[in-house]
Structure formats: C-alpha cells, structure tokens
Structure 1
C-alpha cells in the first residue's frame, strides 16, 4: 500500500518486487490538475524528466523515476457517474480496490479486472492491466474518455473513437502525458461464482477451447514439472454478497496456505534450489479447491504477499495448445529450479497501437520466479519460447525489448511515436529506460 510518509521522507524509490530502484531528485504529491500542470511546466523548463510511479507494481523499469517522481495519491476518487449510460469518471490516482465498493453504491461494476487490486487506475490503464475472459478486454479497453496533462502542462480531454490519438492513449505507457482523469464504461452490478478445481494437464488441454467459450472467466495455474494443474472458472450469477463465513475461510486460505505456506517453501527453495521439484508437487496438491460466491469486486482479487519476479506474454489464442504442450514437455525434467506456477489467461483482441493483442484473441502466459532465486536461465528460455509463438510482452512485466524489436512486433509504432512527439515535444516523460525505445 502507498505510504505518504515514506513518499515524503525519502528520495529512494523501488518497485513492489524490489528489482527496480531509483533515486529521484524530488518526490511530489500534487493535489489537483492545476498544481500538476505547474509541476510539468517547471520540469519542462528545467529540462528534467517526470515519471508518475503509480503503485509501483510494474516489474519492468517503466515507472522508475530519474529526476521527478510524482504520485497521484491525492488526486483520486469518483468525480461523476451517469446512471443512464453507466459511464463513471474517476480521478487517475484512484486505487483499484476503491473502485468496486464505490460503483456498487450506484448499482454498477467494472466489466473485468485482474487479481491484483493495489494499482492505481491510471497506472493500470497505461500499462494494459488485464484479467481473464476471451470475450473481455483489459482495463484500457473499458475507457471511453481520457483526461491528461501533456508535456507542456496543457490539459486535454479526448473521447474514444477510431482515431490515432485514441489508439495511442489506449495503452500509452505514460508517454503522452499524465492520465489525471478517466471515464470508464461500467456494467450493471453482478456477482460471480468461482470454482477452483484440480485437473491433469492433458485432461485440461483437451477441454481448453470448450471451457473458455462456455465460461465468463477461465484461469490456469500450471506447476512446472507436475501433472496436476489448478483451474479456476468464474461465471456471472444473480447478485449475492460474499458471506462473512466465506470471507473468513478465504482469508484463512489466502493468508495461511497460499501466502504463508508459499513463503515458507519458497525460502526452502531459495536456500536449496534442488528442492523446487518437490515443492512444486506439494504446492499443486495443496492449492485449495471449492466454490465461493460474491460481488465481482469481492471475488476477482487475490492477495499477493510473497514477492516474485514476473514475465508475461500474449500469444495468438490459436497457438496456445502447441505452446503449452512445449512448456509441459520442457519442464517435465524440471531444468530451471522454479516452483511458482505458470498463469494462463485469455482476452479479446484490442486495437491500441501498443496492445500486446494486436486485435487478436490472445492467451496471456505469465512466468514467475521467487525473489532471491536466479531467474536468468528460466527467463531467457521464456523469451526464446515466446518469440517462437509470436509473443508480445506485457509492458509492465520484465522484458528485454529493444526499439528494433518493437518496430517488428508493433506495426503501428510509428503512429504512436507521432502522437507522443505531438504531446511531449520536449521528451519530459522520456526517462533513461525509454530512451532506448524511442526515435
């Protein structure tokens, strides 16, 4: 969780996982758009750079500040909601965990979200944060209007259309400006029934295509080198709140089993990497099964207290079977000393210039390594494998992208660059990390 005291009292910055660190000259907390515009104007005159760091949940250096770090922590909350259209306007600094309860008061909900809710709305949209569901898109896809302050300190509002600016703002990486206000197309309030069950790998792969079409949300957790996987299915049901008993049981499962036990066995693996095969088998068997029901925002998120590093790639959905078979075959011998599961999800295709889906239904495959264990060989293999299946990395996860690679896998990157240069002509949002990625 964001701490104002820590933000004000130190010039040291690091992301959630602790793998990216920075030493900004200043860490600022603007209270409104006017103050933010003045900060940007002054920074531009001083030829410094700005980075809005969000909740620091990106694993790549995308949020790392060089000169000026900004948090939108004081610019958050609901601005307005149109109960006829279901369009809700929020300040960009609003945290995802705040949105569900706010919308529920008016009878609305987000169409979809991921399983982590600590990010800011602006950060999640700028990086393409997503959940799962082949008919559903990312948080970026739910936006109908962006309000942002550009690199000259000017405020703009833009309504989504089939135009270059919309497709650039769809997933902007914070390179066009600071996303200070956003209007989202919500849906009527709904509840979810979540079923967690165990499958063998081969039985699951046989029903994958049918499963993702018949259910609203499907998520896999494949444990390296293990026959058994966890499958989570979520479907919409009539409105019901999660009961106190269910919430208590889930908190116990999450805190004691999925986080407490995971931390203990992860520490064993860190000290004795050869134990990872045994731990992976134990973890696969220990994951609880069962059914829970509740409002969507109660069911979507899961606490992530054990720190890890992550790479995630989107591949065309039709390549999922072949890709997973290769992953399964390769990891049977457990060559990489990894015990964290591989997470598999789906999304619809999106038109944004920098969307990893590039308009195609996609499978997102996420690879994790416990923090403190060596991820180099494992992640090097992941990069090679994902390249084979035309994978594009999630911008907020670890990757080795270069400008040449981006030009190859994002055909409309030049159009994004045109928009970026128009709204940030002085490159104040271009930190050292981004210099290798732009013209």
Structure 2
C-alpha cells in the first residue's frame, strides 16, 4: 500500500511487485488542482517528464516515473453527489478502499469492483482496471466526466460523449493529462450473495456460457495441472451487512490460510520449482465451500499479501473454452513450473481507442508467477498463444506493446496518439516506455 512517508526527493520508486524501479530526482505531492497546474507548467518550461504513480500496483512500466514523480495522495475524497442522477464526483487520488464507505453514507455503491482495492480511482480508470461480470464494464466505463490537467498546465473538464477526446480518455494511460477529478455513474447500495466452491474443470467449461449469464459476477481460479477449479459466484441482493464476528472469522481465514499458507507453498516452489504442479494440485484440493452475504464493497476485494508478477489478456468471450482447454492441455504435460492459479473473469465490451475489449464481450485470463521465480518462458508462451485468440494485454499488466505492433492490437491507436499530441504537445507525460509505443 502507498506510503506518503516514503515520498521524498532522492528516494527509490518501485511498483508493488518490485519488478520495476526508478530513481526520479523530484517527488511531488500537490494539495490542490492549482498546484498540479503549476507543477505541469514548470515541467513544460524545463522539458522534463512527469508521471503520476498512483498506488504503484501496475505490473507494467505504465506508472513508472523517470525524471519526476507525482502522487495524488493529497487530492482525495468526495466532491459532490447527485443522488437523482446517480453520479458521484471524487478527487481522482481517492483510493478504491475509501470509495465504498463514502458512497454508503449516501445509500450508494460502485457498480462493480475488482479483487484489489488499493489502487487510486485515477490509476484504475486510466488503465482500464476491471472486475468480473459479462454485463458490466471496467472502471473506465463508469466515468461520466473527466477533469484533467493537460500537458500545458490547464485544467479542463470533459463530459463523456461520442467524440474523439472521450474515446481517448476512456483508457488514457495518463498520456492525455493528469486526471484530478472524476464523475462516475453509481447505483443504489446493494449486497452480494457470495459462494465459492471447488468444481470439476470439464463440467464448468461445458456450462461456462450459461454460468456467466445466470450470475452477476463469476470468477474462476484454474489450478495448473489439476482437473479441479475454484468457482466464485455473486448475486445481487438487498443491502444486508454480515455479522461482525463472522466477518472477523472470514478475514482471519483469508489472511492465515489463503495468504499465510500460500506464502509458505510459494517459497517451497521457489526453492524447488519442480514441486509447483504437485503443490498446485494440493491447493486445488484444499478449496472448500464458502458462503457469505455482505455489502458489495466488503465482498469484492480480497487481501493479496503474497507478491507476484502478472500478465493478463482479454479475448472474445466466445473463444474462452478453446483457450482454457489449450491451457489445460499444456499444463497436463507439465511444460511449466507454475503453482499460481490462473484467474478468469469476464466483462462487457466497451468503446475506447485503447480498451482491450474493443467493443466485444470479453474473457480476461490472468497469469501469475511468484516473485523471485523466472516467469520469462511462461509469459512468452502466454503471449504467443494469445495471438491465436486475438488477445490484448491489460495495460497495467506485463505486455509486449511497441510501435511496430500497437496498431495490430488497436486499429485506432493513431487516433489516440493524435489526441495525445493535442493535449500534451511537449510530451511531458511520455516516458521511455510510451515513446517505444506511440510515435
């Protein structure tokens, strides 16, 4: 989790997983929009790059600063609620774990969330962070209005519409401007009826399309080399809070069993990688049946204290069964030493020049490797395999985007770049990572 105490000039910056680090010379923590404008204007004059680092929860260099780093940690909280219109305006530095309780005070809730809640609104929206649910979009899809500081230090607000700037801002990667305020579509507060159980892989594959349409949220965890998977399902119900004692018991179990025990298993796999598949099978057998009902923001996220690196791809949902069958066949031959389960989720298709869904209902498959283990051959296989299924990597996860292939993934990449150049004519948001992608 982000710590403002470590935010100082000369400090090392690193992302959560530690696979990227840098030593920016300047660290900024502005306390007003006006201060953000001034900082950007200074960088325009000095021709220095600056990046907003969010909570550093990306596995790609998307938030990695080079010359200057800026945090929105001091620009947090609710600005305005319109209950009639079901919208809420926040400072974009607000952390996701803060949003749910704030909205609940007004009888409102986020439409959807992912399983991590440490990111900022700005980071989640700018990278297309998502949860799961075939009728539900990413955080980006919830936005009604963006408030950004452009590359010339001007604060502007833009209402979503059928226009080029909206298409570029949908997943902007922080390249159009610094997102400082955001108005999002919300909904009346609700609870989720959650179930988790172990199930047979082939049975679930056969019923996948039916399952994802009968439940609001569905998430799979496929255990490499096993014929068993964990299936999580959620259905929307009227607001009901889980009893405090049971909530404490569940949280303790998550920390001790799913994080503590899994950390020990991961350390064993790092020590002896050949044990990865047997341990994966053991983890699958250990999955028990769970049920609980609670307010939505208490159910969506799960604690993740075991560190890893990750790559994630979106593919058309009608290709999911073929893809996961291929994954299963590869692990049946034990071609890779992997014990981390593969996370499978779905989303609605949505517009946006750089949206990985490209308007098509999509399945997202997330591949993980424990920190300290070599992921190179595993992730290279994932990258090559996903090309067959028209897969597009999540921007916040490890990827191989570059200027020679970006338009094959995103036909409107140049239209995005035109908007980028218009609102950041001096390229102050363009780090080396992005210079290798956008001409």
> TM-score of the superposition, structure 2-length normalised?
0.99
Q: 1:299-378 counterparts in 2 under 5 A?
A: 299-378=299-378
Deviations 1:301-327 (A, max 9, x none): 000000000000000011101111111
Q: Is the 8 A contact 1:28 1:69 kept in 2?
A: yes
> Alpha-carbon deviation of 1:145?
0.2
Q: Is the 8 A contact 1:242 1:298 kept in 2?
A: no
SS of 2:207's partner is helix
Q: 1:400-411 counterparts in 2 under 5 A?
A: 400-411=400-411
Once residues 329 and 94 of structure 1 are traced to their aligned partners in structure 2, the CA distance between those partners, rounded to angstroms, is: 43
Whether 2:260 is the aligned partner of 1:260: answer yes
> Alpha-carbon deviation of 1:288?
3.4
* Matching residue of 1:165: 165
Deviations 1:195-218 (A, max 9, x none): 001111101101101100110000
* Matching residue of 1:231: 231
Whether 2:438 is the aligned partner of 1:434: answer no
> Alpha-carbon deviation of 1:8?
2.2
* Matching residue of 1:416: 416
Q: Is the 8 A contact 2:310 2:366 kept in 1?
A: yes
* Matching residue of 1:13: 13
> Alpha-carbon deviation of 1:239?
0.9
> Alpha-carbon deviation of 1:9?
6.3
Q: Is the 8 A contact 2:10 2:24 kept in 1?
A: no
Once residues 277 and 351 of structure 1 are traced to their aligned partners in structure 2, the CA distance between those partners, rounded to angstroms, is: 39
Once residues 295 and 241 of structure 1 are traced to their aligned partners in structure 2, the CA distance between those partners, rounded to angstroms, is: 6
User: Aligned residues, how many?
Assistant: 439
* Matching residue of 2:174: 174
* Matching residue of 1:50: 50
In structure 1, runs of 5+ residues without a counterpart are: none
SS of 1:41's partner is helix
> TM-score of the superposition, structure 1-length normalised?
0.99
Query: Cα–Cα, structure 1 residues 191 and 381, in superposed 2: closer, same or farther, change >3 Å?
Result: same
Judge which range, 245-254 or 58-67, deviates more: 245-254
Q: Is the 8 A contact 1:96 1:120 kept in 2?
A: yes
> Alpha-carbon deviation of 1:424?
0.1
Q: Is the 8 A contact 2:10 2:23 kept in 1?
A: no
Once residues 176 and 314 of structure 1 are traced to their aligned partners in structure 2, the CA distance between those partners, rounded to angstroms, is: 24
Q: Is the 8 A contact 2:9 2:27 kept in 1?
A: no
* Matching residue of 1:286: 286
> Alpha-carbon deviation of 1:405?
1.3
> Alpha-carbon deviation of 1:290?
1.2
* Matching residue of 1:222: 222
In structure 2, runs of 5+ residues without a counterpart are: none
* Matching residue of 2:24: 24
* Matching residue of 2:189: 189
Once residues 333 and 339 of structure 1 are traced to their aligned partners in structure 2, the CA distance between those partners, rounded to angstroms, is: 14
Q: Is the 8 A contact 1:95 1:117 kept in 2?
A: yes
Once residues 170 and 288 of structure 1 are traced to their aligned partners in structure 2, the CA distance between those partners, rounded to angstroms, is: 39
Q: Is the 8 A contact 1:195 1:291 kept in 2?
A: yes
Q: Is the 8 A contact 2:10 2:25 kept in 1?
A: no
> Alpha-carbon deviation of 1:10?
4.7
Once residues 141 and 252 of structure 2 are traced to their aligned partners in structure 1, the CA distance between those partners, rounded to angstroms, is: 34
